[in-house]
């Protein structure tokens, strides 16, 4: 496993984390830029040490309304309140309302694009994403989702396509992607496809060990993929259990 640069691990689920509070600086940038953020943020760790891992948590579909509702529910403490920086950004190039594809592309690739776009710019050209850039630096990459691994948000971190609804096409990008570890549902887009192609075999041919029943550990495998449901993982109320916690720990240790 590559270890000399930070491992990127992406969670695509409703999750709450606390943020670092060392030395953080904020610099305004040109708002007319195609960049998705009105600020540039740099962070210096007080110890001078570099981070071992970079963990990017995405609460897909989570907005101010959901966060506020959680705060008002029995005056519940929300960990978002502990973040030193909070910002809002419009990340669709064509619509006031952003869908998961345009938002995912903005987060994965740093550029605004049209709704439904997966890892491509407003003209349909492929955009480099964080996972690909980290691989070029020698880093390892993990991707975890409770939605299908081909859903718009996770797909933006490994695929390049103009329509989020083409799940089978999106799935075909994963075998040769820069992902080293993935866990989530979406099995049917790999082994029960309209084109009759078995992408499980393709994943294995590209060095993946694939598990479709549980989070069994494969410590000797260089690349591991878990496809544990046909389309989506069960909701917490319906028995998903500790999938996110367990998969995350496995990704960190892989």
178 flagged as catalytic: no
**CA–CA separation, 175 and 93 (whole Å):** 30
- Residue 253 token pair: 């240790």
**What b-and-e string marks burial along 201-212, b requiring 16 or more CB atoms within 10 Å of the CB?**
ebbeeeebebbe
Which one of 92, 93, 100, 178 is the catalytic residue? 100
Annotated catalytic residues are 100
């Amino acid at each position: 496993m590559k270890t000399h640069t930070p491992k990127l691990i992406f969670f695509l689920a409703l999750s709450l984390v606390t943020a670092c509070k060392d030395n953080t600086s904020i610099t305004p940038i040109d708002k007319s830029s195609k960049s998705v953020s009105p600020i540039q943020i740099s962070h210096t760790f007080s110890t001078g040490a570099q981070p071992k891992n970079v963990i990017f948590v995405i609460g897909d579909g989570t907005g101010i309304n959901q966060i506020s509702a959680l705060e008002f529910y029995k005056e519940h403490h929300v960990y978002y309140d502990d973040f030193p920086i909070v910002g809002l950004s419009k990340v669709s190039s064509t619509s006031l309302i952003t869908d998961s594809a345009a938002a995912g592309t903005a987060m994965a690739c740093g550029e605004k694009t049209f709704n439904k776009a997966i890892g491509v710019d407003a003209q349909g050209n492929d955009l480099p994403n964080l996972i690909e850039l980290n691989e070029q630096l020698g880093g390892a990459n993990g991707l975890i989702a409770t939605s299908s691994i081909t859903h718009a948000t996770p797909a933006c971190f490994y695929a390049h396509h103009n329509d989020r609804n083409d799940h089978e096409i999106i799935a075909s990008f994963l075998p040769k992607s820069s992902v080293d570890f993935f866990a989530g549902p979406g099995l049917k887009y790999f082994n029960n496809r309209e084109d009759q192609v078995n992408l499980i075999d393709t994943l294995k041919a590209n060095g993946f060990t694939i598990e479709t029943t549980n989070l069994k550990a494969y410590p000797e495998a260089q690349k591991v993929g878990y496809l544990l449901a046909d389309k989506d993982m069960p909701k917490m109320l319906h028995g998903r259990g500790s999938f996110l916690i367990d998969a995350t720990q496995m990704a960190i240790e892989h």
